[in-house]
Amino acid sequence: MNKKSWVWSISALALLWAGNALALDTKAKNMILMDYTTGEYLFEKNASDPIPPASMSKLMTIYVLFDKLRNGSLSLDDTFKVSENAWRKGGAPSGGSTMFLAIGDEVKVDELLKGIIIQSGNDACIVAAENIAGDEDSFVDIMNHKAQELGLKNSHFANVTGLPHPDHRMSVEDLAKLAQRIISEFPQFYHLFSQKEFTYNNIKQGNRNPLLYSMPYADGLKTGHTEEAGFCLTASAKKGDRRIIGVMTGLASNKERSEEADKVMSWAFREYDNYNLIEKGRKIADLPVQYGVNKTVPLVVSQDVVKTIRKSLRNQVKLVASYDKPVRAPIEMGQQLGVLKIEVPGSEVMEVPLIAGQTINKVGLWGKMVANVKYLLIGDL
């Protein structure tokens, strides 16, 4: 068989890129910027390091609650009772973020969710954990199991609040992946993250996400702050059809967090875009077929290919199709016959299967004999 390649360049692939001076500089200790649609990383800094996530880890507490609402084991109208432990450990006496629940309060799940998402209430997290799992440790077991299911490889939880603990760690990469899952899996609840204020017990508190006030297209997700973690943020913003997720930690102040978040999210929208490089079903070639009822089989792209590309490199993409020919019948529709490689300067090569566009049955014994004779006479199968 002969190896053949089909090459299509949006333009010539540049060997050197003069625009590389536009690299992002950040004050954050850890950071990741992710395109929501493609899952591609636009920027990374210590992204896989397990670090103290502070209240950003409440996103896992929230995910578990959303998951239980989805499977029907929990309802927004369910009512939970506030224990003295939840009040003392997570409420006003603790000095941390609180929803200002009172001992003995009967509070709806709908209100607890708002207390966690908007007010970052530690008390609300503990109340939810105790009423769902019996105690906080049992709920934490659920969180750790769910993290494994979601493929969060650098996350381990020791509590439901994000309060300092040596065994409570997440990476900014895991936080970005978790944010992506929350947005995609729970659109019916996602609007809560952009709600700017919530009042409980006649105490009104504002959402602590600074981007909600400075960036018109920001709509989530969660802030965090402890002395060890610094000022942190898991952010999401949608501009037109594009959504960017950004996670940052280790900033020195609320002001610095706000300025840095605005800067890096604006940079991501300005410097990158999503491009439809090739559509599903596009025919790349007609491959000759040995011993088939048809002489050729169409080789087609198996999926739409959308990539997040730096705008300055959009004309430097190279697509290379590689396949063997001829192929031997029988051939099933959808059978992989080659691979399409997408090359972008500075990025890992992406590979997409090339598949048969139709089924080709094998000829019978007589047909095979005719084909062999033909090959002996003129060298053409």
The pLDDT of residue 379 is 57
What are the percentages of helix, strand and coil residues in the chain, rounded to 5? 35, 30, 35
pLDDT at 3 over 90: no
Determine which of 190-194, 264-268, 323-327 has the lowest per-residue pLDDT on average. 323-327
- Which pTM does this prediction carry? 0.88
**Interval 61-90: pLDDT, tens:** 999 999 999 999 999 999 999 999 999 998
pLDDT at 163 over 50: yes
Determine which of 16-20, 132-136, 184-188, 202-206 has the lowest per-residue pLDDT on average. 16-20
Please state, in angstroms and as integers, the Cα–Cα distance from residue 329 to each residue in 8, 293, 294, 332, 364, following that order. Answer: 28, 8, 9, 9, 11
Amino acid at 333: M
Instruction: Give the active site residues.
Output: 55, 58, 120
Higher pLDDT: 9 or 157? It is 157
The pLDDT of residue 345 is 87
Taking residues 338-366, report their average pLDDT: 89
Confidence class for position 220, pLDDT limits 50, 70, 90: very high
The pLDDT of residue 11 is 36
Domains and CATH numbers, the chain: 2-14+276-378 (2.60.410.10), 28-251 (3.40.710.10)
Closest CA to 178 of 136, 221, 138: 221
H helices of 152-242, in order, are: 172-185, 211-214
Higher pLDDT: 377 or 160? It is 160
pLDDT at 377 over 60: no
In DSSP terms, which residues pair with 327 in a beta bridge?
A: 289
Confidence class for position 189, pLDDT limits 50, 70, 90: very high
The pLDDT of residue 96 is 86
The pLDDT of residue 363 is 87
In DSSP terms, which residues pair with 292 in a beta bridge?
A: 362
User: CA torsion sign, 116 to 122 to 126 to 127?
Assistant: negative
